[in-house]
């Protein structure tokens, strides 16, 4: 089966919440989770290749040492093994058991150290004593190990330890993935995610997986707008990309940074720096139409790659739909953010929300009523229900994507359908867009879009743009 969900539903079950898709997500989780990713190196390349096997995109590279705005593309980091062994040779902390144990981007070491010598290089989380924290040392040459606070407390403070990190930093490349899905509206939207985190699940294995499924779906439909998909290491990858494609990136209308989309916690929406931009409205209407309750997060200067995309030189408004947002969940940046924490089913719901968000951008056209004086007589065109009976009867789901798997769907009634037609005729003066009408009326974008097409067919409405 395919994810191919075109606007015109043609297959019986093109639904991302289906068992097949959930199984496909689960398989991908299993393949990608164990890889030791970093800013650069084999882990990133393996990850991009596996994602590319789900849906094709270009994998590009920029050489270490390249100046990218205020930054420099770093060397490639390779790591074979790393451990701390006790006096009996028993490995008490081992990279091969969990790659989070090594401070990411650590320099090499092979030495016997006293506990006191070792201690400054050990990182733990006293407040979550069973978790291994995730730490990096990208921009300072250093080495270290991360371990649970419980482990630290069990260590013999008088003992000596064999400490090994078999790593190297060598000139190489920084890799990123990209693809442009061309549209014809003149508008272009960005969908980005980052691929530099090692064995951590919600942040950001989940974002990468959603990214590739969203890409596969978008490639399967004919889009109005262009969509640029980017996957790169966080911060330096985004900066490198922006440096490579500076002029192209100045013309982008908005976009989304995909991150932390499969946790057990609440949905959230992180606003663009513009607060109430079209991309914010499209996402929030999608969530409202699905009956999803979500936390509103304001723009945060300490967020993800919107920190780069939205800087003065580009000013691309970027939003993020999350399920258990980074920073906010207890297991964030620890070994407990693993495959027991996230669920394919949660990711599939986030995927639906992003699909609906993009459909909202696609549907956001401006129409003009061809019947400016008084309302049209819907009845003579067969657009009005006959007399009698309540107008509350259900004629469809407000959010068809959620319909089969959740109780989140709200009925679309005959009243909704009539209101959608009347609202389209009332507000469409050639200036007001469909998202504006959805905000005014609280009607689902899907119903407004469907009725707009019907009214065009009946010569009551015309498309302005």
- Closer residue to a copy of itself in complex, CB, 89/312: 312
Minimum separation from the CB atom of position 426 to a copy of itself (A): 6
Token pair 């400490």 is found at 163
C-alpha–C-alpha distance, residues 218 and 213, integer Å: 9
Find the shortest distance in angstroms from Cβ 385 to a copy of itself. 10
Residues that bind a copy of itself (CB under 8 A): 68-71, 103, 123, 135-137, 139-140, 142, 144, 235, 238-239, 242-243, 246, 273, 301-302, 307-308, 310-314, 369, 371-377, 379-380, 384, 386-388, 415, 418-419, 422-423, 425-426, 428-429, 441
Nearer to a copy of itself, 124 or 223 (CB): 124
Give the count of alpha carbons within 13 A of 311, CB side only: 16
Residue spans of beta strands (DSSP E) within 64-172: 67-68, 71-72, 76-85, 91-94, 109-114, 122-123, 145-146, 160-170
CB of 405 to a copy of itself, least distance (A): 32
Give 340: exposed, middle or buried? Use CB within 10 Å, 0-12, 13-18, 19+. Answer: exposed
Using the minimum distance from each CB to a copy of itself, give the nearer residue, 45 or 333: 333
Alpha helices in 369-444 (DSSP H): 414-427, 434-441
**Are 193 and 350 spatial neighbours (Cβ–Cβ below 8 Å)?**
no
Distance between CA 1 and CA 23 in Å, rounded? 12
Map residue 139 onto helix, strand or coil.
coil
CB of 14 to a copy of itself, least distance (A): 32
Nearer to a copy of itself, 160 or 381 (CB): 381
Q: How far apart are CA 82 and CA 93, in angstroms?
A: 8
Angle of helix 207-220 relative to helix 42-54, nearest 10 degrees, comes to 30
Q: How far apart are CA 169 and CA 76, in angstroms?
A: 5
Q: Which is nearer to a copy of itself, 184 or 457 (CB)?
A: 457
Could you tell me the smallest distance in angstroms from the CB atom of residue 415 to a copy of itself? 7
CB of 260 to a copy of itself, least distance (A): 19
Q: Which is nearer to a copy of itself, 348 or 433 (CB)?
A: 433
Minimum distance from residue 312 beta carbon to a copy of itself (Å)? 4
Contact 160, 87 (CB under 8 A): yes
Our CB check for a copy of itself shows the closer of 108 and 383 to be 383
Question: From the CB of 88, what's the least distance to a copy of itself, in Å?
Answer: 29
- Residues 311, 106: Cα–Cα separation, whole Å: 30
Minimum CB separation of residue 108 from a copy of itself in Å reads 17
E runs forming strands in 331-447: 366-369, 394-397, 411-413, 429-433
CB of 141 to a copy of itself, least distance (A): 11
Q: Which is nearer to a copy of itself, 137 or 220 (CB)?
A: 137
Task: Describe the chain by its helix, strand, coil percentages, rounded to 5.
Answer: 30, 25, 45
User: Is 103 or 165 the residue whose CB approaches a copy of itself more closely?
Assistant: 103
Nearer to a copy of itself, 28 or 238 (CB): 238
Closer CB to a copy of itself, 351 or 425, in the complex? 425
Tokens of 147: 């371990």
Cβ of residue 303: shortest distance to a copy of itself, in angstroms? 10
Closest CA to 29 of 351, 348, 343: 343
Sheet order of strands, 461-463 included: 429-433, 366-369, 461-463
- What are the start-end ranges of the E strands in 118-239? 122-123, 145-146, 160-170, 173-181, 188-194, 226-232
454 is written with which tokens? 């019907």
Distance CA 240, CA 238 (A): 5
């Amino acid at each position: 089966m395919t994810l191919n969900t075109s606007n015109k539903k043609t297959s019986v079950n093109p639904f991302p919440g289906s068992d097949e898709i959930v199984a496909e997500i689960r398989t991908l989780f299993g393949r990608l989770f164990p890889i030791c990713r970093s800013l650069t190196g084999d882990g990133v390349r393996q990850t991009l290749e596996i994602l590319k096997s789900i849906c094709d995109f270009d994998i590009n590279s920029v050489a270490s040492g390249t100046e990218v705005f205020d930054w420099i593309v770093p060397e490639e980091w390779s790591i074979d093994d790393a451990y701390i062994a006790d006096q009996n040779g028993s490995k008490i902390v081992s990279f091969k058991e969990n790659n989070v144990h090594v401070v990411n981007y650590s320099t090499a070491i092979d030495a016997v150290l006293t506990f006191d010598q070792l201690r400054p290089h050990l990182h733990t989380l006293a407040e979550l004593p069973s978790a291994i924290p995730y730490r990096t040392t990208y921009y300072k040459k250093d080495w270290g190990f991360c371990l649970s606070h419980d482990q630290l407390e069990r260590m013999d403070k008088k003992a000596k330890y064999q400490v090994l990190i078999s790593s190297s930093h060598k000139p190489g490349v920084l890799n990123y993935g990209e693809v442009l899905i061309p549209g014809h509206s003149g508008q272009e939207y960005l969908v980005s995610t980052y691929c530099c985190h090692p064995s951590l699940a919600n942040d950001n294995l989940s974002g990468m997986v959603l990214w590739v499924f969203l890409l596969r779906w978008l490639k399967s439909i004919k889009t109005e707008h262009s969509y640029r998909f980017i996957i790169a290491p966080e911060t330096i990858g985004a900066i490198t990309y922006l440096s490579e494609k500076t002029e192209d990136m100045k013309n982008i209308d908005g976009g989304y940074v995909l991150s932390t989309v499969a946790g057990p916690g609440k949905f959230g929406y992180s606003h663009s720096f513009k607060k109430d931009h079209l991309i914010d409205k499209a996402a929030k209407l999608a969530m409202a139409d699905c009956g999803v309750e979500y936390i509103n997060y304001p723009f945060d200067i300490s967020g993800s790659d919107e920190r780069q995309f939205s800087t003065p030189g580009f000013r691309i408004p970027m939003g993020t739909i999350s399920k258990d947002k980074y920073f906010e969940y207890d297991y964030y940046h620890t070994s407990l953010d693993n495959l027991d924490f996230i669920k394919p089913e949660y990711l599939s719901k986030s995927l639906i929300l992003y699909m609906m968000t993009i459909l909202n951008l696609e549907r956001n056209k401006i129409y003009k009523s061809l019947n400016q004086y008084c309302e049209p007589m819907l009845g003579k065109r067969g657009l009005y229900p006959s007399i009698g009976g309540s107008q509350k009867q259900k004629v469809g789901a407000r959010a068809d994507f959620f319909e089969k798997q959740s109780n989140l769907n709200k009925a679309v009634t005959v009243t909704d359908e009539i209101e959608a037609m009347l609202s389209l005729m009332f507000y469409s003066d050639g200036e007001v867009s469909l998202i504006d009408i959805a905000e005014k009326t609280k009607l689902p974008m899907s119903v407004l879009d469907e009725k707009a097409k019907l009214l065009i067919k009946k010569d009551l409405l015309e498309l302005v743009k």
